[in-house]
Amino acid sequence: MPLFADFIAPLTPEQFFANHWPDTPYVGPRTELPEELLKRVPELSDAERVLETFEGTVSLLRRNGPHARVTHGKDALPMYRAGFTCYMRHVEAHFPGLDDLIAEAAHRLGLPRTAMACEIFCSTGTSGVPMHSDFDVNFALLLSGTKYWRMAPNKSIENQTAMCFACGRKQADEGQLDYAHAPFPERMPDNAQEVTMETGGLLFLPRGWWHETHATGACMQLNLVIKGPHWARVLTSALEEKLLAAPDWREFAYGVSASDGPMQHAAANRLAELITRLQESLAEVQPHALAAELTATFQANNRT
Ligand SMILES: [Fe+2]
C-alpha cells in the first residue's frame, strides 16, 4: 500500500479529501500500526530504539515543569526513563522511511515537501500539553499508549501564523494578538470535543484548533506536520525573483534605514517611483497569467 494511504488507514485518501481536508478533524479508531510504515521505519515500534537512532536535538518536557534539551537522542534516554517527555523535530532526517512518507504526502496534498516535517513525542510517565492552538496542520498517529485530548476551534483568530496560548499566558508571538479579532479564552471551551486516542489511532487536527492533552504510562506519537506555505509567502518569494530580473529592483535601497531628513525622503521617493512603474506594468497583466507564472516560479524554487 502507498505510504500515505497506509498512514491514514483505515480512512482512505478519497474519504480524507472528501470529508476532512483541510478544515475538519478526523478521529481514527484503535487499529493495527501502519504495516508499510513499520516495514520502512522499524524503530517506530520502540521509543528507546527511536531515541538511540535519532542523532538530533531532543527537547525534554514536563507538564507545567522545567524544560531542557540534549543534543543527541542517546543522551535523552535516562531522562526518558525518569519520566520526561522527549520531543524530536525533523525526525525524517534520521529515518529515511519518514522522508519517503513526507514526499508522498506532499505529492498527494499538492504542497512543497519543504513545508512538511515529522515529529515524535515519547514518554513513560505523566505527560501532555496545556491548552494551545497550533499554526500548523497535524496528523498525529499514536504509535503506543493512550492519550486523552480536548479540542475546539480557535474562534478568536483566523489563520494564525504562530502557536497561540490561552489568555493570561505569555504568547510565543505577541503579533498574533494583532491578528486576533477577539480575546483568547482563559480555558478550553465547555463544549470542547473529548477524545481518547488508542494505539494505532490517527488524529487529523486542522490548523487553529485549541487542544490540551493528557497521557499516563508509555506513550509515543508520530506527527506529520504541514507548516505552510501561506499565499503571502508564495507571492512575495516568486515576485522577488521576477523583480530581480530588472536592474532597478536590484539597486541597493540606499537610505532605507535613515530615521529622518532628506535621506529618508529620497529613499521613500525612490521606492514610490518603483512601485508606480510596477503598478503600471501590472495593469496590463492578466491575473491568471501572473498567478500561473508566480506559481511555476514558486514550484521550481521549492522542488527538492
Ligand atoms: Fe499542539
What is the band of 276 on the pLDDT scale with cuts at 50, 70, 90?
A: very high
How far is the centre of ligand 1, averaged over its atoms, from the C-alpha of 181 (Å)? 21
How sure is the predictor about 260, in pLDDT bands with cuts at 50, 70 and 90?
confident
pTM assigned to the model: 0.93
Spacing, Cα 36 to ligand 1 middle (Å): 26
| Domains of the chain, each with CATH number or no CATH | 3-226 (2.60.120.650), 232-301 (no CATH)
Q: 288 CA to middle of ligand 1, Å?
A: 36
pLDDT at 60 exceeding the cut of 90: yes
pLDDT at residue 269, rounded to an integer: 97
Q: Residue 64: pLDDT above 80?
A: no
Q: How confident is the model at residue 270 (pLDDT cuts 50, 70, 90)?
A: very high
Separation of CA 3 and ligand 1 centre (Å):
24
Helix 231-243 to helix 287-301 angle, to the nearest 10 degrees? 90
Tally of CB atoms within 10 A around 31 = 13
